[in-house]
Structure 1
Amino acid sequence: MNTPSPLCPRLTRACAAVLRAGPDRLRTPAMRADADAILFSAKSFAAAMLAYYLSLRIGLPKPFWAIVTVYIVSQTSAGASLSRGVYRFAGTLIGAIATVAIVPNFVNDPVLCSLVLAGWIGLCLFFSLLDRTPRAYAFVLSGYTASLIGFPGVLDPAAVFDTASLRVQEISIGILCAALIHRYVLPKPMTGQFTGKLAATLRDARRLAGDALTGTPEDNRTDRRQLSLDLLTLQGLATHLPYDPAPVTPRRRTLQLIHDRLARLLPLTADIEDRVHRLGIGTGEDDLSALVGAVRAWIDTTDADDGETAARLMGRARAVQKQLAAGAAPPGGIIGANLAGHLAEMIGLLHDCDRLGQGMTARWHARRAASLHGPARARGYVYHRDPWMAARAALGCIVGILGGCAFWIGSAWPEGGTAVSILGVCCTLFGTFDAPVPFVVKYIVGSIYGVLISLVYSFVVLPQVTDFGVLVAVLAPAFLFAGSLQARPPTTFMAMGITLTIPILSELGTSYTGDFAASLNTVIALFAAVGFAAVSMSLFQTVPAPVAIHRLLRVSRRDVGRRARGAAPNEAHWTSLMIDRTALLLPRLRASGQADADVLDDTLRHLRIGHAAGRLRKTIPRTTGEAGAAVGALLSAIAACFRAGKPTDPADLVDLDQRIETLMAMMGDGAHSSRSRTVDLLIDLRFALGAGGTASKENTAHDR
């Protein structure tokens, strides 16, 4: 009798373990990302070939533009693909109309024609930088469509209208095919991605609230940074939701209400953290310590949306606030009352977020909105817009294009029109970045691969192809590989260099031409234009990270002064605007290599100072006599301290702290209808400034 080898059972068990682990490995983030990239690439290639086939059947002379369009508008989600297609169509149509209006009227003067075209492209870039939403893509397209059609059309102005009309048709077919394939073939809705991100953001907000009561300052800094970035990401995703194929999408007003509460939560948790540390609240037996412990326990519970518990905690916080405010003789009394009031507000904001998150798809009627603890009026995300920086980038774009035009006109280079058109595309497409050159370099690397692949296709493979099915088969390897790279953010621009070069340089038209000289001239024009664009953009369109950081901080400080004067917008607008600036600072700080803790703390401090100063301004009409005049004088001093956006002098901060202390004593001795409200705001302002001059460290990171 043979005894079984011990190796067999071991091998059997190992194979079974591998088979059991297989599905789990496929569910890892890396494997899911690979699967999503492959699916995106396959769908984009199918859409490109469908667009190419339809363009050939219709008889369009340059059907490769339909292929290029598919890869430009395709996104990993169905909603983003459709919205990008709509914006591209609108931008292409407007750019084509502008070109038809410009070129025939100025063609007799090439210099003036170049100046007008460059001015239009720069104007489109200016508005795209001001918009800062995905809709800005329409402005970008308006600019570089004019560049693609206009500069080559200078040599043949009579054909500009026909060229523009055909280009719109080719692009429209590409947009239509991309939208259909991504929407109806294994669609990937954005609504699921958005709701998942929103759920994670709400968890981050609760963790931030809990850390304000228990965590270390460094933990809270990290949580606030993450919340700022989460709000910007959610806004970008929400822009595409109206185009999403999901049967039910979150309602816009509900999302705005959630945003307003999360935005207010960010500075509010900083206020609470300061007071908890100042009072040294721990496990004491007093009412305030017990309240903090109860709120902490409520935040940590899984059933955090319990309305009854939230209402009971809010009532308890208001009771503690009144109790401490009534016996406000000790310094800790009024600060404790202030903390209790902030706790009540934080509970209300968190409970509102829970309720709104559960009812994202429901219509919020006036009666339901009135039951919210926070404001029922929705403001939503507010973007920071800087016309001066946008104008600077637009002017740099114009200068770079005019430099290329000067070389083209002066040298009478036959391919100069093509080169300048590519230059205009680069200056517009990459001009939305502070530092565009690294992205241009990635595009150049992709273009090198695209040129090599195109030459192989043009003079080795395509001469042997006589059937459309065979053509699809031979094109598949290159486009499928490039498409999978395009789905991954680190290689997106390199992939664009491949997918945009192959169709144009291989001349995937109605028939095979195989003109080596023409291809060589196009390659020279391509690399000359992209290389000149890299040099031009490094000189005229690059904003160093320290310059962008200084500009953002300067504008924030200036707006603090405007808030103190009563000239800036309301609290919700101000809070959201400053959070957007924080989100803009984070990547720039990483790029500059600066330590971000001090800079972000200063931005949050500016937000809190402006919030308290703006609200304090509203109490002046209800504060009569000497106290009202003192409040006005204090706000004027704050406006002077932050005027012109200059860093504040530590001596000025000490003076402001003394003014607040004097004013609080004055309010305590008098009887005013808004006394408690004014004292609360003075405490907020004092803590935001640094509680007795300690905010002088504000200047340490500004001008590094």
Structure 2
Amino acid sequence: MNEMPSGRPDSPQTCRAARQALTTFLGQPGTKEDADAILFSVKSFAAAMLAYYISLQLALPKPFWAIVTVYVVSQTSAGASLSRGVYRFVGTLVGAVATVAIVPNFVNDPIVCSVILAGWIGRCLFLSLLDRTPRAYAFVLAGYTTSLIGFPSVLDPGAVFDTASLRVQEISIGILCAVLIHRYVLPKSMKGQFAGKLSATLQDARRIARLALAGTPEDNRNDRHQLAADLLMLRGLATHLPYDPGSATLRRETLQLIHDRLARLLPLSTEIEDRVRTLGLGHRDQADELTALVTDVAAWIAAPEAGQDETAAARLIGRARSVQAGLTKHATTPVDRVGANLAGHLAEMIGLIHDCDRLDRSMITGARSPKAVSLYESEPAKGYVYHRDPWMAARAALGSIVAILSGCAFWMWSAWPEGGTAVSILGVCCTLFGNFDAPVPFVVKYIVGSIWGVLISLVYSFAILPQVTNFAVLVAVLAPAFLIAGSLQARVPTTFMAMGITLTIPILAGLGTTYTADFAAFLNTAIALFIAVGFAAVSMSIFQTVPLEVAIDRLLRLSRRDVGRRALGGAPNEARWTSLMIDRTALLLPRQRAVGKTHTDVLDDTLRLLRIGHIAGQLRKIVPQVKGGAGAALRGLLSTIAACFSVRRSTSPAELADLDRRIEALMAMVAASSHNSRWRILDLLIDLRFALGFTATAHEEDPAHDR
């Protein structure tokens, strides 16, 4: 009798504890990933069955293409699914039109027809590799569709128009169903994902700035490299935002402004770190103005809420400019000039960080005028700039053409009845996997998935489907395989393996308008699949694989070449140059990790080249204003930089020593002149010495440095 009352007061606490435990469990990264994968799988399967049902009702001859399309188009977010669907539709339509234009015109010459089809596919791959945005998927699909429709029609060109028309209809139904389900059934907005990534990136940027003020490069170098990769990821997410139902307030110009400021902050943090370490500010006990300024800026950065106070930011910027002016006016030693240079960089960094905070808030509130930012003056926003390499893209495209033509030669020489199907699959592999430096591991994952797909299809075709009597039962029996495969497709490590399952079952299991199991046809199609994918792996390892060391070396050589071009006046836009080099850093990061310790300094070299090119470009803009001997010396210095950073070779120690002597002599000439821009030129020359690695002079020439 006494136990009941004592238990009641505990029941609310028990419920709260249970809810808290459930919330904690669901909030764990692993649990959330599983839940997202399951939701994606259920929605994709629902869209696939809806597309299949509509195709059956319309009596389309190969409704399984609608199922395949759903799994190719479906993405984990509503915006990405819609954008991918739009790109796939455009690519499919263009590819179908191209196929109809090519095949009938070469009806009497299959060899020429195959060459032209292969050339079209290679061109589509080339354009997709140059684009490097999610829009590149449209080019991939233009080649993909031509391969699927064109090669099976080479020996039967009379049906190519009907085939292309039906394929577009089937694929369009799959696209429509995938987009509708992912957009309106428990949609996952990309805005939240983008906002979370942007918030984390801004926090990382503050940490990078704070560590730079402490002068600790060992703690900061990995963060800087990761920031470059995060900016690339943000750009990829931002591409899908216009298609996302919840992203109407995220404006393109605001995103570009944030990117430009974060991009500038990356090399600027290195500049500040070098000067703090050289001046020993992190170890000084004196309360001089510069040390106090560094301390106060670090405290301001460490308190994110302070970034919302425009008055505090403006006051810090004014104070930094005042310290810079004082040290510049009374500069008697190299250390004074370096201190003034540091103060100027601090003012710029404060403005950058404050602007990022304001722009971030403007996105949250939906403000229309990001141009209201006034603490940091810069050129108009450029946004992310992609590195594009036509030579490497042409290499991959040529490799795909050679592989496809080799397959065509074997097909026509052997008169293999399934040869057209095999070559079409080969062309699909060349376009789908052609954007990787080393595509073979991904092709192997796809082969593993295809093996599972064939085995599952075998069971369905000859054991389960003969017992199915209506559509509802068919959905029920297909659910286990597709739900498991769809869940695997939502996870990055198993995406390609899962695609091997989801793209194989609809075709091999005979999900057509009627049940027509034919073991011989099943076996022939499976053999064609494995021969085609296996040949694709072999040919891509020969013709389309780029060794990581080669890819790394080419990115570095192109960066060195562009430094020389900027020194000679090419590529004058500062924001574009900075963003381009950050993209190259983001491209180098996964490659550097893959090769391990062989290229530990590659990323630092890229950021150093970024700084040198940035400074050289700014000096080149000043050249027309500088007359006399100083102007001639400045032009000579820039010409020497252009020669030293040749694309064909690295800079020797002797060349670097000559550069240092030239810079020192030019600094003496400029300091003694009365030119209006002399302090600006001195600042840039100090920046250049630090970027080149000459930091000892300022320390050694000032005996009072350690007082």
Determine if the TM-score, normalized by the shorter chain, exceeds 0.5.
Answer: yes
Give the distance between the partners of 1:2 and 1:617, measured in 2 at CA. Answer: 90
Report if aligned partners of 2:253, 2:370 keep a CA contact under 8 Å in 1.
no
Shift in alpha-carbon separation, 1:572–1:2, aligned structure 2, 3 A? closer
Residue 426 of structure 1: how far off its partner (Å): 0.3
Counterparts of 2:117 and 2:468, CA distance in 1 = 40
Pick aligned residue for 2:575 from 572, 579, 599: 572
Partner SS, residue 504 of structure 2: helix
Deviations 1:217-269 (A, max 9, x none): 11110110121011000000000000001163410000000000000000000
Q: Deviations over 1:41-71 (max 9, x none)?
A: 0000000000000000011100000000000
Whether contact under 8 Å (1:221, 1:597) holds in the other structure is no
Match of 2:703 in 1: none
What SS does the corresponding residue of 2:75 show, helix, strand or coil? coil
Cα distance in 2 for residues equivalent to 1:682 and 1:485: 55
Q: What is the CA deviation profile of residues 379-406 of structure 1, one whole-angstrom value per residue up to 9, with x for unaligned ones?
A: 0000000000000000000000011001
In structure 2, the residue matched to 1:698 is none
Native 8 Å contact 1:657 1:692 kept in 2: no
Please give the secondary structure, in 1, of the residue aligned with 2:103. helix
Q: CA deviation at 1:371?
A: 2.4
CA pair 239-676 structure 1, distance change in 2 beyond 3 A: same
Question: Structure 1 residues 662 and 14, CA, compared in 2 at 3 Å: closer, same or farther?
Answer: same
d(CA) in 2 for partners of 1:312, 1:19: 48
Deviation at 1:214, TM superposition (A): 1.2
Partner of 1:7: none
**Shift of residue 18 of structure 1?**
6.5
What corresponds to 2:456 in structure 1?
453
Counterpart Cα distance in 1 of 2:695 and 2:294: 25
Give the partner amino acid of 1:233.
M
- The answer for the alignment partner of 1:511 in structure 2 is 514
Residues 83 and 243, structure 1, Cα contact 8 Å, conserved in 2:
yes
Alpha-carbon distance, 1:601 to partner:
1.1
Alignment of 1:346-425 (within 5 A): 346-360=349-363, 368-369=371-372, 371-375=374-378, 377-425=380-428
- In the alignment, the residues of structure 1 paired with residue 165 and residue 26 of structure 2 have an alpha-carbon distance, to the nearest angstrom, of 47
Query: Distance between the aligned counterparts of 1:429 and 1:624, measured in 2?
Result: 57
* Structure 1 pair 586–488 and aligned structure 2 pair: CA distance change class (3 A): same
Alignment of 1:564-643 (within 5 A): 564-643=567-646
| Alignment of 1:195 onto 2:198 | no
Identify the match of residue 500 of structure 1 among 492, 503, 522: 503
Residue ranges of structure 1 left out of the alignment (5+ in a row): 5-9, 695-704
Q: Structure 1's 455 and 308: CA in aligned 2 closer, same or farther, altered over 3 A? A: same
Displacement of 1:462 after TM fit?
0.6
SS in 2 for 1:644: coil
Equivalent position of 1:331 in the other structure: 334
Equivalent residue number for residue 444 of structure 1: 447
1:180 positional shift: 0.3
Letter of the structure 2 residue corresponding to residue 296 of structure 1: A
Deviation for aligned residue 1:568: 2.0
Q: 8 Å contact 2:151–2:421 — kept in the other structure?
A: yes
SS of the equivalent of 1:126 reads helix
CA distance, structure 2, for counterparts of residue 466 and residue 646 of structure 1: 71
Deviation at 1:349, TM superposition (A): 0.4
The worse-fitting range, judged by mean Cα deviation, of 655-664 and 353-362 is: 353-362
Could you give the per-residue CA deviations for residues 550-599 of structure 1, whole angstroms, max 9, x where no partner exists? 00000000101001001124110000000000000011111222355411
Identity %: 73
Q: Tell me, in whole angstroms, the C-alpha distance in 2 between the residues paired with 1:645 and 1:298.
A: 45
The corresponding residue for 2:98 is 98
Moved more, 398-407 or 566-575: 566-575
Separation in 2, partners of 1:385, 1:422: 28
The offset of 1:373, in angstroms, is 1.5
Map Cα deviations across residues 167-193 of structure 1 (whole Å, 9 max, x no partner).
000000000000000000000000010
Residue 245 (structure 1) aligns with: 245
Aligned match of 2:655: 652
Q: 2:554 aligns with which of 551, 555, 564?
A: 551
Distance 2:203 2:382 in 1: 22
Change (3 A) 1:317 1:150: same
Report the secondary structure of 1:568's partner residue. Answer: coil
Matched, 1:301 2:291: no
* Alignment map for 1:214-229 (pairs within 5 Å): 214=214, 216-229=216-229
Structure 2: 5+ residue runs without aligned partners? 5-9, 698-707
Instruction: Give the deviation of 1:365 after TM superposition.
Output: 6.4
* Structure 1: distance between partners of 2:19 and 2:555: 55
* Closer, same or farther: CA 159–675 of 1 in aligned 2, 3 Å: same
CA distance in 1, matches of 2:595, 2:130: 23
Q: 1:685 aligns with which of 677, 684, 688?
A: 688
- In 2, are the aligned partners of 1:400 and 1:533 still within 8 Å (CA)? yes
Instruction: Specify the alignment match of 1:146 in structure 2.
Output: 146
Q: 1:376 to 1:606 in 2, by over 3 A?
A: closer
Aligned partners of 2:370 and 2:242: how far apart in 1? 25
How far apart, CA to CA, are the structure 1 residues paired with 2:70 and 2:598?
Answer: 42
Structure 1 stretch displaced more, 22-31 or 520-529: 22-31
SS of the aligned residue for 1:230 comes to helix
1:164 matched to 2:164:
yes
Checking the alignment, whether the CA contact within 8 Å between 2:250 and 2:366 is kept in structure 1 is no
Partners of 1:499 and 1:548 lie apart in 2 by 33
Contact 1:462–1:471 (CA under 8 A) maintained in structure 2: yes
Aligned partner of 2:701 in structure 1 is none
Could you tell me which residue of structure 1 aligns to residue 286 of structure 2?
Answer: 284
In 1: Cα distance, 2:559 partner to 2:648 partner: 7
Matched AA of 1:578: M
- RMSD of the alignment, in Å? 2.1
**SS at the partner of 2:296?**
helix
Residues 1:472 and 2:458 are matched in the alignment: no
Deviations 1:272-320 (A, max 9, x none): 0000011111342111001101101100113122100000000000000
Shift of 1:418: 0.2
Identify the residue that residue 60 of structure 1 maps to in structure 2: 60
Asked if 1:26 corresponds to 2:23, the answer is no
Give the count of matched residue pairs: 690
Opposite residue 348 of structure 1, the aligned amino acid is G
Query: After alignment, is 440-449 or 564-573 more displaced?
Result: 564-573
What SS does the corresponding residue of 1:593 show, helix, strand or coil? helix
**1:83 maps onto 2:83 in alignment:** yes
After superposition, the Cα gap between the structure-2 partners of 1:47 and 1:674, relative to the gap in structure 1 and judged at 3 Å, is same
Match for 1:158: what amino acid? G
1:363 positional shift: 7.0
| Conserved 8 A contact 1:261-1:374 | no
- Residue 433 of structure 1 corresponds to which residue in structure 2? 436
Alpha-carbon separation, structure 1, partners of 2:525 and 2:102: 25
**2: CA distance, partners of 1:48 / 1:207:** 46
Task: Indicate how the Cα distance of structure 1 residues 20 and 292 shifts in structure 2: closer, same or farther if over 3 A, else same.
Answer: closer
Please name the residue that 1:320 is paired with. Answer: 323
Question: In the alignment, which residue of structure 2 is the partner of 1:661?
Answer: 664
Partner of 1:700: none
**Do the aligned partners of residues 318 and 461 (structure 1) sit closer, same or farther apart at CA in structure 2, a change above 3 Å counting?**
same
SS at match of 1:381: coil
Report the Cα offset of residue 372 of structure 1: 4.4
